[in-house]
Structure 1
């Protein structure tokens, strides 16, 4: 579904700390091919899915009504002085997405909502000027239960980390992270699907890429073998056994294998394949960053942003329907309009990680690429100017995400589409909440 003490924060989702250490095909000129909206096409499929969606509605209703409340529509003021224009009530179209479907027969599909004001978070300050939506504090009972379960899994099932890493694992607060990002999960077991995958991915990042014995040298081989724990090898019986044994050879592969086995118990084949695809994207992003590290190269800003579209949090919101106990059909997940919404959500949430982890990465050994660092070097401006410009890049991505999500919801008012868009929006807001309030890991630069 990006954040260890040194460099893992630049990567796609960075949860639950450490594990056991152990081009040139022809392409058309994009300027010659103007982007065409897929929204009319998406809307034309509406009738075909109404009946199919009705069949799934019983399950949707149960998941929607049994789960905890989603984000309210009236956020409280931020806890520090932030320009008023930047902490906003969602625009009317986005409020409608968060509210859920309307019209005859859809009332029961809306998620329960809180009417009381949002509490002010007790920890951390939001980045001044960062466009975000405050969210309610996550359910402490769920947070505690998920935290206990994930630690038991990490220690007893996959032997993920040694004793001296325990404080880092606890400080990551992965239980709080997942509960706040998936407010419509019908059960703790559903939340655990996302939590195990998050911790496993963080283990791969830390142990293979950086913090805990990682290196760019030989990374491709390590990632490919780990990926087979998600996308299994199909070979002859003689070699199948050797491959199966290899999945227990180190902590990252043990974690991937186990987390994926749990995920497959709930996910449909389409949802599982979607997740594997996004994990392949993630691993490709890891390799691009590793290549730059080996060459001691600082990419252009646009090149860095291209890498971050792959090395980012995208695998997390893409499984929001599985964690919610329902399915967005493949033909509604695949259209370009939905893919753009998911990509923008992943890009915005990943730049949040770049911004909140900035001071931690500066204090760690070596040079860690993040958006402010790349902007400062490539555009020859001060660290402060670069950081503030990175905030604006994030804000532009957030506004584009919200506008595209609202347009898609209007063009394709299928209940599962509406609910999926609300789930992605909740993940975006929850991701910011976790970064803001995780004072164990993050502190802000003195730029204001």
Structure 2
């Protein structure tokens, strides 16, 4: 197979894809987060999108639907201690990525003679019985540099949080998070693409939805106006200046506007549109959860899982190709089987958040919906048995993700798709690593 080099911006479906199509099988800034000798200096902010002048920043199928999850009995016996799960052979192929003649160009930063990294015991305790794969501790030099840059951006460029939130921003450890999730990013600049977007998304979640000033009341209007920082308003000359000024009026909009400017400088038009679409999905999930909060409705378990397919981490792994410095062509990305893999990855990683943040959310005022809480209410289980069942729901989703990714890789071995699947799998594992090791934010319930 010839070395494809950097993925082209436009590409037609390969013949294998035509065959396959026919026969084919986040949260919370409230507990947020410097260099490497060979790293370039922090880049200057990118040119602003073509907007009218604005004031200075405010200073204050082809595939069936996901099958229903099987009913699980209440668990009365203690769960076994978690053992890191070794990937199945098919999944190892994805995690290892394409190999052989002509594939060196898919790994701009890999040394062929480098030994496989060891995986020492990580900080924190993994959830007993959880299906996960351990990963090496992220590169500390890169982590430090990303941490330095994201804090400079958040404080100096967009004023993302007030001074009294600084310890919470630091505790979020955003540098460790994004370096762990994007091990194939060729440079720190590429990691920063994802890091700014993650910071902005979490700022909006807390300021609009959660307990740093958030409320379900009026959320739809706030989300819509913030979304125009990602998907610009096209209006008349008379009203354009007022809209442009609004993008500087609060921290979420300042964050979205700036992070998106950096992103579109590196992304293709199709990658940018893909991200906007996934952020609209996220905002729709926020609205569903807010509506339930206003009516004090506890959803059925399947309804909650439907909401979590939208209110989840999907915008993060779906940009893994932009962060990796290549592009999965739009016609491949749109394949139903690819969409299923991405959806399952987002669903599994989001239930990881539900499980690790369980005790933190229980200590917050009011009823905070998460999967164990919903299972306990709707299936009349104890808190312990509901939590243990939620672990099994996660494990079912993870295995479905792995099986779907392995089947897709075997059916359609396009180099850019294989690299994309590898990036999504790395994001899933890096996300778990961050949740497990972030003891500033998370502690486990006493259920074992």
The TM-score normalised by the length of structure 1 is 0.82
| 1:116 CA displacement | 4.4
Task: Tell me how far apart the structure 2 counterparts of residues 107 and 417 of structure 1 sit (CA, whole Å).
Answer: 15
Task: Tell me how far apart the structure 1 counterparts of residues 181 and 315 of structure 2 sit (CA, whole Å).
Answer: 13
Equivalent residues, number: 381
Q: Which position in structure 2 is the counterpart of 1:62?
A: none
> CA separation of 1:83/1:124 partners in 2, compared to 1, >3 Å: closer, same or farther?
closer
| 1:36 CA displacement | 3.7
Q: Which position in structure 2 is the counterpart of 1:234?
A: 234
Secondary structure of residue in 2 paired with 1:313 = coil
Alignment of 1:364-379 (within 5 A): 364-379=364-379
> CA separation of 1:125/1:417 partners in 2, compared to 1, >3 Å: closer, same or farther?
same
The answer (yes or no) to whether the contact 2:314–2:343 under 8 Å persists in 1 is yes
1:93 aligns with 2:90: yes
| 1:5 CA displacement | 8.0
> CA separation of 1:201/1:114 partners in 2, compared to 1, >3 Å: closer, same or farther?
farther
Q: Which position in structure 2 is the counterpart of 1:362?
A: 362
Q: Which position in structure 1 is the counterpart of 2:40?
A: none
Task: Tell me how far apart the structure 1 counterparts of residues 117 and 146 of structure 2 sit (CA, whole Å).
Answer: 25
Q: Which position in structure 2 is the counterpart of 1:73?
A: none
Q: Which position in structure 1 is the counterpart of 2:116?
A: 115
Alignment of 1:301-320 (within 5 A): 301-320=301-320
> CA separation of 1:379/1:119 partners in 2, compared to 1, >3 Å: closer, same or farther?
same
Q: Which position in structure 2 is the counterpart of 1:75?
A: none
| 1:21 CA displacement | 12
| 1:237 CA displacement | 0.9
Q: Which position in structure 1 is the counterpart of 2:221?
A: 221
> CA separation of 1:300/1:254 partners in 2, compared to 1, >3 Å: closer, same or farther?
same
Q: Which position in structure 1 is the counterpart of 2:426?
A: 426
Q: Which position in structure 2 is the counterpart of 1:388?
A: 388
The answer (yes or no) to whether the contact 2:32–2:170 under 8 Å persists in 1 is no
| 1:15 CA displacement | 5.8
Secondary structure of residue in 2 paired with 1:131 = coil
Q: Which position in structure 2 is the counterpart of 1:55?
A: none
Task: Tell me how far apart the structure 1 counterparts of residues 32 and 285 of structure 2 sit (CA, whole Å).
Answer: 17
| 1:3 CA displacement | 2.0
The answer (yes or no) to whether the contact 2:362–2:368 under 8 Å persists in 1 is yes
| 1:115 CA displacement | 2.2
Q: Deviations over 1:110-132 (max 9, x none)?
A: 555642431111x2000000000
| 1:107 CA displacement | 4.7
What residue ranges of structure 1 are gaps of 5+ in the alignment? 7-13, 23-34, 39-79
Task: Tell me how far apart the structure 2 counterparts of residues 107 and 248 of structure 1 sit (CA, whole Å).
Answer: 44
Alignment of 1:49-448 (within 5 A): 82-84=81-83, 87-109=84-106, 111-112=110-111, 114-121=115-122, 123-448=123-448
The answer (yes or no) to whether the contact 1:4–1:211 under 8 Å persists in 2 is no
The answer (yes or no) to whether the contact 1:21–1:213 under 8 Å persists in 2 is no
Q: Which position in structure 2 is the counterpart of 1:70?
A: none
1:3 aligns with 2:4: no
Secondary structure of residue in 1 paired with 2:305 = helix
| 1:82 CA displacement | 2.5
The answer (yes or no) to whether the contact 1:21–1:161 under 8 Å persists in 2 is no
Secondary structure of residue in 1 paired with 2:87 = coil
> CA separation of 1:142/1:83 partners in 2, compared to 1, >3 Å: closer, same or farther?
closer
Task: Tell me how far apart the structure 2 counterparts of residues 274 and 420 of structure 1 sit (CA, whole Å).
Answer: 14
Secondary structure of residue in 2 paired with 1:364 = coil
The answer (yes or no) to whether the contact 1:21–1:251 under 8 Å persists in 2 is no
| 1:396 CA displacement | 0.3
> CA separation of 1:117/1:336 partners in 2, compared to 1, >3 Å: closer, same or farther?
same
Q: Deviations over 1:316-370 (max 9, x none)?
A: 0000000000000000101000000000000000000000000000011111000
Instruction: Give the superposed CA RMSD.
Output: 1.9
| 1:100 CA displacement | 1.7
Q: Deviations over 1:363-405 (max 9, x none)?
A: 1111100000000000001000000000000000000000000
Secondary structure of residue in 2 paired with 1:178 = helix
Task: Tell me how far apart the structure 2 counterparts of residues 5 and 421 of structure 1 sit (CA, whole Å).
Answer: 28
Task: Tell me how far apart the structure 2 counterparts of residues 293 and 81 of structure 1 sit (CA, whole Å).
Answer: 35
Q: Deviations over 1:211-231 (max 9, x none)?
A: 211000000000000000000
Secondary structure of residue in 2 paired with 1:238 = coil
Secondary structure of residue in 2 paired with 1:237 = coil
> CA separation of 1:114/1:241 partners in 2, compared to 1, >3 Å: closer, same or farther?
farther
Task: Tell me how far apart the structure 2 counterparts of residues 5 and 269 of structure 1 sit (CA, whole Å).
Answer: 29
Task: Tell me how far apart the structure 1 counterparts of residues 436 and 145 of structure 2 sit (CA, whole Å).
Answer: 22
